[in-house]
Structure 1
Amino acid sequence: MCKKIYTGIFVLMIVLLIGGMFITLPYYITEPGMAKKLAPIIKVENGYKEKGNFMLTTVRMGKANIYSYLEAKMSKYDEIYPQDEILGKKETEEEYNLIQLQMMAGAKLNAIDVAYRKAGIPVHYKYKGIYVMDVLPGMPADGTLKPGDRIFKVDGNSFTSSKEFIDYVGKKHAGDPVTFTFLRNKQEKTATLKLKPFKESPNRVGIGISLVDDKDIVVDPKVKINTADIGGSSAGLMFSLEIYNQLTKEDLTKGYQIAGTGTIDVDGTVGPIGGIEQKIVAADKAGAEIFFAPNEKGAQNSNYRAAVKTAHDIHSKMKIVPVNNFDEAVNYLEKLPEK
């Protein structure tokens, strides 16, 4: 009898242990990801080689289960976020991932633009439409359009920029019907929506979407950036440095292992990102010697200050370099002695 009881308890414990791996909690866990060399990812046609490496840094994120939640509680550089802080009220994980991939696409375009212009090479764009990034609850697009939809015609008209799209819709009045032609999962669809005033700005009408341009960048020599399923915009600065380095004869790496993070705008401004502490840990583990961190014009709570603190806490020998824009990063590297 006792043997059956012990067997039953043992089986129950096994079931609970296995179940704990598959039962998710309403939280997401982020932890240090990887520092990945960019030369195999970015290829400029007939580009110059480099002795060292530029590296992008990542944060790994996943849905929490019982074990990952407890592990994160005990780890200094793991972070726990309630699900609502990651996903919007009506946003699915698939929609979140689509937005992250669109942000990555924008980061790549900006990086190419900045690097080629810095190298004195002309840049041109081929406009294809707009991507829906978010849909405002209670507005006409709610329930009809989704993040990731690509709108390429409005009332049968094509446009050459998102500004033209916004101006066209903005000239209409509340209640006016507007027909949108869009692609979703490679299928063409149409929807006619009546414009509505925005609550925060009653004089403006729209359908309630945030958007980004869907456009191709045209450059010579050509460049390919293979990011696979990496999302977000935080690799913008490092993309631009790698591209510029392949375009110019002087090797800016000078034999060093150089990591970093930060968004990049088309004017070269470097913007802050999330998870800087985790990226410092990832870069240190990968053997980076230099790390570029967004300086945010010296703000007290800047990424740079957080990066310095983390590097000190983990006893890293990395040189943490503050940058406000692309030119500052290039100037630092140009003055760097050969290794």
Structure 2
Amino acid sequence: MPRRSATMLAATLLLIGLLCASVLFKVPFTEMSPGPTYNTLGVQDKTGTPVITITGHETYPTSGHLNMTTVQVTGANYQPSLVSAIVGWIRDDVLVVPHDNVYPQGQTDQEAQQENAEQFASSEDSAKTAALKQLDIPVGTEVIVSAVTAGGPSEGKLHAGDQIVAVDGVAITDRAQVAEQVTRHQPGETVVFTVVPHAKASATPDPADEVQVPVVTAKSEDDGPERAVVGITPSVDHVYPFKIDIGLQDVGGPSAGLMFALGIVDKLTPTDLTGGKFVAGTGTIDDDGAVGPIGGIQMKLIAARDKGAEYFFTPADNCAEASKGTPSGLTLVKVENLDGAVKALDSIRSGDEAALPSCGK
């Protein structure tokens, strides 16, 4: 075989080998892509039930869209091939990030789903609280049992969700008081909890529902000083004057908080906040209405624009990243808190776009 032909054959075989290797070789990355968006003023596609349902308080008609946005993420066990990762880096609608950025310390799919569900539940609670505070509607608090230690003194006596009214007759208004009262005892002594069982808890508690639950304390087994313990974790829960249900399924994480809060405010406000406009957005929210940054902002921008959004409420800390890849026809609106987002809707509704806080400002 002539030398030139042999060289070409060897190069071709080498190229084929490299291509095969790149297809088979896995790399430690995770792929993100635009996910579904949900209108918090509308209904769920699968069930036709409202995303937000409010009972026990007057609500008002709404129009337009206040869409929360999501990102689709490959599973914890998925690893793309080198070719797939390269293709993802080239595409505008796929984001390739290091695997450990999404699933830290070898987190499994089940662990990630559990964490996302917990974050979503916390986000719902903060959205309700922030929305009612925005409208000057009082929000109460109560101390509850959030967890009971398996095999501990309280197992079978106290239950997750029970409201702790008093300990040894001392009224409880803060979760720290629970430990203070318990540690007044020696291990082996009895502490008496006054609780409203979870099944009877309501926004308007009835003293007749209160029960006395004696618990024999045990000795602590951690590295701290020896003390009496009862094997529960107390936490503070919000009490709302009426019922607010957020019914989305198969959605996780904390990033829908802002849009949920806006949806609640709109339903409880006589003014139609959107004026029929299509607004989408994202952002975490705390009980006081402060809006925080999220991940995957570029994918959420694409999802929003593909759905028809004209405006995108962007957490202030995401503005720099979002400004690098804003889809054509989508106006970024910088948001720092819920009050600012409501005022931005006023400007959108009135057509005063010059008043909108821009990510470029």
User: What band does the TM-score fall into relative to the shorter chain?
Assistant: 0.5 to 0.7
Deviation (angstroms), 1:279: 1.0
**Equivalent in the alignment of 1:257:** 278
Deviation (angstroms), 1:163: 3.6
Residue 330 (structure 2) aligned to one of 318, 321, 332: 318
**1:82 and 2:99 matched:** yes
Aligned residues: 280
**Equivalent in the alignment of 1:142:** none
Deviations 1:209-260 (A, max 9, x none): 99965x353223x221012221111111111101000000111111111111
**Equivalent in the alignment of 2:324:** 309
**Equivalent in the alignment of 1:140:** none
Provide the alpha-carbon RMSD of the alignment. 4.5
Relative distance call for 1:247 and 1:64 in structure 2 (3 A) is same
Deviation (angstroms), 1:97: 1.6
Pair member with larger Rg: 2
**1:227 and 2:251 matched:** no
Matches within 5 A, 1:236-315: 236-295=257-316, 302-311=317-326, 315=327
Relative to its length, the structure with more strand (as a share) is 1
Residue 37 (structure 1) aligned to one of 39, 53, 60: 39
Deviation (angstroms), 1:29: 2.9
- Is the 2:257–2:283 contact (alpha carbons within 8 Å) kept by the matching residues of 1? yes
**Equivalent in the alignment of 2:133:** 117
- Is the 2:31–2:97 contact (alpha carbons within 8 Å) kept by the matching residues of 1? yes
- Is the 2:31–2:88 contact (alpha carbons within 8 Å) kept by the matching residues of 1? no
Letter in 2 for 1:224: D
For 2:177 and 2:27, the matched residues in 1 are separated by 44
**Equivalent in the alignment of 1:47:** 59
Relative distance call for 1:130 and 1:324 in structure 2 (3 A) is same
For 1:83 and 1:246, the matched residues in 2 are separated by 40
Structure 2-normalised TM-score? Answer: 0.63
Relative distance call for 1:129 and 1:95 in structure 2 (3 A) is farther
SS at match of 1:102: helix
Structure 1-normalised TM-score? Answer: 0.66
Relative distance call for 1:171 and 1:79 in structure 2 (3 A) is farther
**1:93 and 2:109 matched:** yes
Segments of 5+ residues of structure 1 without an aligned counterpart are 1-19, 133-148, 180-190, 296-301
Deviation (angstroms), 1:95: 2.8
**Identity of counterpart residues, as a percentage?**
30
Deviations 1:148-182 (A, max 9, x none): x959699x969655444566689999x99xx9xxx
- Is the 2:63–2:274 contact (alpha carbons within 8 Å) kept by the matching residues of 1? yes
- Is the 2:68–2:259 contact (alpha carbons within 8 Å) kept by the matching residues of 1? yes
For 2:335 and 2:277, the matched residues in 1 are separated by 18
Relative distance call for 1:85 and 1:110 in structure 2 (3 A) is closer
